[in-house]
Amino acid sequence: MWLEINASPERLDLGAHLIRTAKARGAKFIISTDAHHPRHLRSMRFGVITARRGWLAPADIMNTLPLEQFAASLRRN
User: For the purposes of burial, counting CB atoms within 10 Å of the CB of 8, is it exposed (0-12), middle (13-18) or buried (19 or more)?
Assistant: middle
The pLDDT score that the predictor gives to residue 13 is 80
* d(C-alpha 74, C-alpha 71), whole Å: 5
At 62, the amino acid letter reads M
Mean pLDDT over 2-9 rounds to 90
pLDDT digits (tens, 9 = 90+) for 29-53: 999 988 888 998 898 999 999 999 9
Which of these, 38, 37, 35, lies nearest to 9 by C-alpha position? 35
The pLDDT score that the predictor gives to residue 14 is 84
pLDDT digits (tens, 9 = 90+) for 13-32: 888 999 999 999 999 999 99
Mean pLDDT over 52-65 rounds to 94
